[in-house]
Amino acid sequence: MLIKNTMHKQLSLISCVGDLSPKYQDRLEDSWAGTFYSDFFCHIDEDLFSKLFSDKPSRPNIAVNVLVGLDVLKAAFGWTDEELIDAFIYNMQVRYALGIRQFGELDFDIRTLYNFRRRIAKHMQKTGENLIEEVFKQVTAEQMETYEIKTSKLRMDSTLVTSNIRNMSRLQLLVEVLQRVHRMLNEMDQEKYHDHFSPYLEGTSGQFIYRLKGEETNVHLGQIGSLMHKMLRELSEEYGDQDAYHILERVFTEHFDISESQLRPKENEELSASSLQSPDDWEATYRRKNGEDHLGYVANVTETCDPDNELQLITNVQVEPNTTDDAAMLEEMIRDLAENTEIEELYVDGGYGSPEVDENLQEHHIELFQTAIRGRKPSSKKLYLSDFLLEQNEDGEPVNITCPHNQTTTVERGRKDGRYLAYFEELLCAECPLQDQCPAERLQRKAQRVLRFSGKQWRVARRRRNSKKLRESGENLRSAIEATIWSMTHAFSHGKVPVRGQPRTSMVMFSSAIMSNVRRIHRYLQEKERRRAEMDKNGARSQEKRKQKDNVYDSNDPLSSLLSIFGLSKNFVFAFNFV
């Protein structure tokens, strides 16, 4: 049964924080811990986690908002669980951030944290709902409302995230799977199949590979394939529901081929990038980028970028297998962005464009601005549809078109759905210096030229035109998101998260995004306070100058000279006259 934690709202008269001097109390409150407590911890809706607890009266739970806060701090600082618990017990800033003002309060075993994470991960695997993501969305929405963040302009970028798994060779992976299948067997079956497994049980899978000679690799691949095939047939009835058996089945299918009753190891080129990379992480995939191998996932991050905002916040995070294309992640995210923000413009790099994305963006009236476009670079000697200015109606249909020589005409629907025609007057086109480069075709029976294009071509042209406009403006609203990516991943050595599996990786990335937003808010509040103090200081200085100016004596003024003898100011005379 979920019991909410409200004790942090009832401050004790005596606490460790209260023992500090007022100077250090103010410093603690003004630190990141104070911002974390006020702008994140106090806003966590614990009811989101009620699904993890029984409805019946039962033993009280450890405070859910504290457990969530600890996971956020772990991701933010790159701590191990032992370091996290030490910080929770001994670090006053950490305790203050979690609403605890006294040492010794809220003691719990580290296994409580493990069980909490496992229940969240299982809930995500069962329902597809990431509760840490729900906390992120709920708190971020409140933060954007509090600080009046404009969301009409957003930017997006992705980064590869490495899973906490070993980088194993193909043969080592197969041997590791066999060893786990052997451990799955009961004592009787281990004895029964001892001779079959014995070559692969001397040491770890890594030690087996270390002792192996290069020319023996192909021999062992064939032998392992035959053994796996035999185990799949003979163990299915008793062990078919075991995880080790499912891994064996998947690996055999991915690495071996049976045709005409002959078993053949697949060539390396035949293996899919989405094939199993480790028995410890079933969702991790393989990707090679910039000459480096990556095993794990890709994180796609969206944040606000309106120049009018004094504060920009991360609004969305996606975690997918690293074989997922950027455009596919954007296509999946468009509806969510349209529903939860006021997005009008989206700034991305060249990897996010696709016909499907163009169509979805048009449906939600969102303009895409790319820093580059995938594909062949257009020739400077030709005109393209992107050189024409197209006007659209409220439904996103093209209605008017203007050529580079400023001839405007209406756009007509073609005979086929999704096709369009635009007719230009030949008399005007004949005087155009660009007519040899123009894609419009001259008609034989009419003194006109016709430009034919499809809806797909028009949407790509709009994207190219927006990209060109962005380059010519000299502004790059997308570039700052590189720093956002760094802020979310710098605590992880070489981008390798300390967890495995997509659910846990997703939890870590959302936790890191939460802390990135908290740090931004903290810097914003500090800068705001600094400016206010500077204004107060300048105001006091101006007031002092005015006071000094009123007390200045003029040597040519007889009254001033007389007052200076008695040490009086002009204000004395004004006050005397008033009385």
Each residue's pLDDT tens digit, 2-29? 888 787 777 776 778 888 888 998 999 9
C-alpha radius of gyration, the chain, whole number: 34
Residue 13's pLDDT is what?
A: 67
**Lowest-pLDDT choice from 144-158, 362-376, 380-394, 542-556:** 542-556
Domains, the chain: 1-129 (no CATH), 136-165+288-370+476-551 (3.30.420.10), 170-270 (no CATH), 385-456 (no CATH)
Which pLDDT score is estimated for 127?
93
Q: Could you give the CA distance from residue 299 to residue 352 in angstroms, rounded to a whole number? A: 14
pLDDT at 444: 86
| Distances from the Cα of 505 to the Cα of 164, 296, 317, 500, angstroms | 10, 9, 11, 6
- Which contiguous run of DSSP H or E holds residue 201? none
Element (H, E) at 317: strand 314-321
**pLDDT above 90 coverage of the chain, percent:** 61
pLDDT at position 560 is 58
Angle at 69 between CA 66 and CA 72, to 5 degrees: 155
Three-state secondary structure string covering 93-157:
HHHHHCCCCCCCCCCCCHHHHHHHHHHHHHHHHHHCCCHHHHHHHHHHHHHHHHCCCCCCEEEEE
Alpha-carbon distance of 330 to 65, in angstroms, equals 31
pLDDT over threshold 90, residue 397? no
Output DSSP code: residue 377.
Answer: P
Average pLDDT over residues 484-508: 92
Average pLDDT, the chain: 88
For the ranges 230-239, 255-264, 485-494, 532-541, the lowest mean pLDDT is seen at 532-541
- The secondary structure of 389-434 as a DSSP string is EEEE-TTS-EEEEE-TT--EEEEEE-SSTTEEEEEEEHHHHHT-TT
DSSP annotation of 278 reads B
State how beta strands 153-162 and 345-348 pair: parallel
pLDDT score for 559: 52
Is the confidence at residue 578, as pLDDT, over 70?
no
pLDDT for res 23: 92
DSSP 501-569: SHHHHHHHHHHHHHHHHHHHHHHHHHHHHHHHHHHHHHHHHHHHHHHHHHTPPPTT-HHHHHHHHHT--
What DSSP character marks residue 267?
P
Torsion of CA 318, 321, 326, 329, to 10 degrees: -40
Number of neighbouring beta carbons within 10 Å of residue 135: 25
Tracing tokens 């920009």 back to the chain, one arrives at 312
- Say whether pLDDT at 562 is over 80: no
Which residues have CB under 8 Å from 404's CB, separation 6+? 383, 387, 388, 434
CA 216 to the chain's CA centroid: 44
Beta bridge partners of 278: 281
390: pLDDT confidence band, cut at 50, 70 and 90? confident
CA quadruple 494, 513, 483, 79: dihedral, nearest 10 = -40
pLDDT recorded at residue 573: 46
pLDDT the model gives residue 555? 52
Written as six digits, the tokens of 41 are 């911890």
Name the DSSP class of 259: E
Strand (E) or helix (H) holding 191:
helix 187-192
Of 267-271, 317-321, 547-551, least confident by mean pLDDT is 547-551
- Whether the predicted pLDDT of 214 surpasses 80: no
Distance CA 427, CA 310 (A): 53
Q: Which range scores top for mean pLDDT: 214-223, 439-448, 521-530?
A: 521-530
DSSP 272: -
Q: pLDDT tier at 579 (50, 70, 90 boundaries)?
A: very low
Q: Write the pLDDT tens digit of every residue in 32-66.
A: 999 999 999 999 999 999 999 888 777 778 899 99
Please return the burial class of 495, using the count of CB atoms within 10 Å of its CB with bins 0-12, 13-18 and 19+: middle
pLDDT at 565: 53
**pTM for this entry:** 0.86
User: What average pLDDT score do residues 144-165 get?
Assistant: 95
C-beta separation of 323 from 365 below 8 A: no
Q: Which residues have C-beta within 8 Å of that of residue 499, sequence separation ≥ 6?
A: 163, 164, 505, 507, 508
Beta-carbon contacts of residue 47 (< 8 Å; ≥ 6 apart): 2, 4
Q: Given pLDDT bands bounded at 50, 70 and 90, which one contains residue 75?
A: very high
Residue-level pLDDT at 575: 43
What is the average per-residue pLDDT within 410-434? 90
pLDDT tens digits for range 87-122: 999 999 999 999 998 888 888 889 999 999 999 999
**DSSP bridge partners of 423:** 450
Minimal CA–CA distance to 300: which of 505, 17, 45? Answer: 505
| Rounded distance between C-alpha atoms, residue 402 and residue 387, angstroms | 9
Helices (H), 431-501: 455-473, 481-489
- pLDDT at position 538 is 80
Say whether pLDDT at 572 is over 70.
Answer: no
Question: Residue 3 in contact with residue 59, Cβ under 8 Å?
Answer: no
- Name the percent of the chain lying above pLDDT 70: 94
Hey, which residues does 370 pair with through a beta bridge?
A: 348
**Measured CA angle at 73 (ends 71, 74), to 5 deg:** 65
φ, ψ at 59 (rounded to 5°)? -60, 140
